[in-house]
Structure 1
Amino acid sequence: MNEHEFAELAAGHALNALSPEDEAAFVDALAEHPEWEHHAHSDAATVAALSDSVAEVAPPPALRTDLLARIASVQQDHPAQVAAPASSLESPAAAPAEPRRRSWGPRAWFALAASLVLLVGVGGGAVVLTQQLNRPVAVVALERIEAAPDAQTASTTLSDGGEATVHWSETVGEVVFVSDGLPTIGADQSYELWFVRDAGAISAGVFEAGEDGDATALLAGPMSPGDVIAVTVEPAGGSPSGAPTSDPIFAIPTA
């Protein structure tokens, strides 16, 4: 089982909707790959957020019947392909095979059904679901990092009392910067993140801070062991030269 297949099972596990066979496969895969546990934590947190945000609403009695009828009609419109006879595979004059369409398996149908049941059953909860799906990518990445078994952080305090923290995980492969109390900069300026290593400073993207100097930003590019994460104030849009044009307002070692 690969990580993508495990992530599909994790969604079903969070909804308590796996078959006994898939539940056993989920447990075995988690025991073999504990580094994948962040998928289970993330899906469980999403389900909990949805269930805690809305009151229980009984689904319409005809929902199950209508849903199964719709699935059956789609299956008839897209029948499964029949394997070619063995003789055709052995014939040297056989015509080239046509590209094979990928059919929807049981887990894909489960995902469709679960989505429809959630949207119809929770009513106003659809707003909550939309909010969950539209969260900033930096916030989602931070949750993945915090749930990873190898999550690490490093922090520093700014001279004027602000704080900055870098979160990263090697297994997740992402780095997130979180700040509170960054100094105010001009409208013609931007904050820019950097990976600083022996070879020099490599831009990791620009970001904006809120009115209180708070920010959550996902760094662009991979971090190397021992990198220092720095922030400089640059012209709007970032350094025009690709290198820092000012001294960093802070630098956070990760080793």
Structure 2
Amino acid sequence: MRQLIYGILLMSLLGCTSKETIFAEDEVVAYLSPYFTFTTHSWQAFVEESALHEPQQRRMIADGERFLALAHVMFRSDESLLWLVDKQHFLPADYAPNDLIKLDSLVWPRVNRAGHELRRESVNALEAMHQQAVREGTPLLVSSTYRSYSRQQDVYAGWVRQLGQVEADRLSAKAGTSQHQLGTVVDFGSINASFTGTKMQQWLEKHAHTYGFSLSYPNGYEAETGYDYESWHYRYLGREALMMQREFFDDLQFQLLTFWHYRHAELQTFWLGKQE
């Protein structure tokens, strides 16, 4: 019955006026989702071509409808929220978000200094998260946010002078490769290893995902991310993206964003929302 409904919905979305467009000899095209034109077989083929770990492939194939429901919402969101930015994937020197909000203009944030800026959607999510943290006795301290390309140049150069380039590369990003340039990253607390194990860090570890914030550099994945564990560094991706990350990508941001970077264009060709 659900497949029949999806067939009828697809016919409606495409503006069809006859059953023949969807039905062949009274057979229903069995689409997995009301939002995508994947059949069971085409979805399995797409997943198997995605170079994922076998357990991840099994989860995606077994619950394709759930995955695609999340992807549908993510396609409707600002695409820059899911840009892959790392040591191999760069932002232009002139990139700057056009919706930055100065946290100094707001009354609720706790900040370590003046001058912090974040993108509007990130601010809204951060405020909601902060209010819950306050109610639970753990107010959040914002210590670093948006950095321009030129500011990141200065930050990286300072680490190189202090530690040398090899060690600096484990702790800081070269300009153009920093997530901070996106305007959706918040560093909390002390911004160093002493933050790990604090009440604030433990609260964020438990609750941040419900507000769309993802830990960028988890413990034990330096080889994959290129950076030491940073328990304080959270990037806003959106709630549905965090659900996908946790349910299908072992709660690892770099795996979600790598998949999205290389596969979202093909995935989008199956998406019915592009025809609305």
TM score, norm. by length of structure 2: 0.23
Larger strand proportion of the pair? 1
Q: Which has the higher contact order (CA 8 A, sep 6+)?
A: 2
The structure in which a higher percent of residues are helix is: 2
